[in-house]
Amino acid sequence: MKLRVVFAGTPEFSVPCLEACRASGAEVVAVYTQPDRPAGRGRKLTPSPVKQAALAAGIPVEQPESLKSELARTTLASYAPDLMVVVAYGLILPRKVLAIPRLGCWNVHASLLPRWRGAAPIQRAILAGDAESGVDLMQMEAGLDTGPVLLERRTPISREDTGGSLHDRLAALGAEVLAEGLARVMAGESMVARPQPDEGVTYAHKLDKAEARLDFSRPAIELERQVRAFDPWPVAEGEVGGETLRVWAARAVDGREGAEPGSVLGMSRDGIDIACGEGALRVTALQRAGGKRITAADYCNAIKTRGG
């Protein structure tokens, strides 16, 4: 069965899924993505990663501010899609839009639903100390990430994982699960979706820069997760020896009984140990204001040579 697909996505996470649609043999008749936004120091209007990939492939691009208008629905219907695939698009799809494609709308979501519905499931999973994450291919309905699940892929979360590394792994898994779904539909198979359970629902609220501040009165293991989750954005930061630093890498270690949270317990080539509410946080990679990311060893050398 030849499939006419409209793809909707915006950030880098969506690009492997767009490529999976193109590689599947389906006809990608249009790509929907967010309007160009100011980016970089010059605040120049910049096309999304998905728009750049679509233009490179010669696919028509639509960038409505909203899908609520009759004009937006008419435009979408004019592409006569069999299926709409949505991956981190960033716009709400009204019920009338969901009804336009013959097979409805699919969503690739970066969590094991119903856990972490919403905007920032990758970082929230790391922050919570989840042992695993994954991607779900979901049949969309009107609620926020509430639709039944067609297919799922799982992956463990290690203590080495950051928001960036888990993002890249889940983007690849999302492309895999979408490719399987498309292949099965084009082979004439009827996909069976399982409803999400009512238990275990959590929401992954959008990240806020204010969350990046490290509170050393909290347990060190929680701060370690915060550092990992917020790499590469918004990057954790905290006060170390009276200086506000961005903290790129850190590990929870044993602390000193009764030490004041936030106090520096020691500096060495292995890292800077900072007392926490429980245990200590060993900072191994950091960034001074206006500087570049450096190792703790380089920071200690700079402190010695510059006198602070």
Please report, for the chain, the start and end positions of each structural domain, with discontinuous segments joined by +: 4-204, 209-306
Q: Distance (Å, rounded) from C-alpha 177 to C-alpha 275?
A: 43
Q: 70 and 49 in contact (C-beta within 8 Å)?
A: no
Report the chain's mean pLDDT, rounded to a whole number: 95
Residue-level pLDDT at 41: 81
| Percent of the chain's residues with pLDDT above 70 | 98
Eight-class DSSP state of 110: S
What's the Cα-to-Cα distance from 173 to each of 69, 111, 258, rounded to whole Å?
A: 34, 11, 45
pLDDT (mean) for 61-77: 97
pLDDT surpasses 80 at 61: yes
Binding residues: 111-114
Residues 6 or more apart in contact with residue 290 via CB below 8 angstroms: none
CATH topology of domain 209-306: Methionyl-tRNA Fmet Formyltransferase; Chain A, domain 2 (3.10.25)
Binding residues for (6S)-5,6,7,8-tetrahydrofolate: 111-114
Q: Distance (Å, rounded) from C-alpha 122 to C-alpha 129?
A: 11
pLDDT surpasses 90 at 11: yes
CATH code, 4-204: 3.40.50.170
Residue-level pLDDT at 234: 97
The closest alpha carbon to 83, from 12, 11, 149, 2, belongs to 2
pLDDT band at 241 (very low <50, low <70, confident <90, very high): confident
pLDDT surpasses 70 at 168: yes
pLDDT band at 91 (very low <50, low <70, confident <90, very high): very high
The one-letter amino acid code at 53 reads A
The closest alpha carbon to 163, from 227, 88, 208, belongs to 227
Q: Distance (Å, rounded) from C-alpha 294 to C-alpha 227?
A: 15
pLDDT surpasses 80 at 308: no
Residue-level pLDDT at 97: 97
Residue-level pLDDT at 305: 67
The closest alpha carbon to 285, from 275, 300, 263, belongs to 300
Neighbours of 112 (CB within 10 A): 21
Q: 9 and 22 in contact (C-beta within 8 Å)?
A: no
Higher pLDDT, 39 or 84: 84
Q: Distance (Å, rounded) from C-alpha 38 to C-alpha 106?
A: 29
pLDDT digits (tens, 9 = 90+) for 184-235: 999 999 899 999 999 999 999 999 999 999 999 999 999 999 999 999 999 9
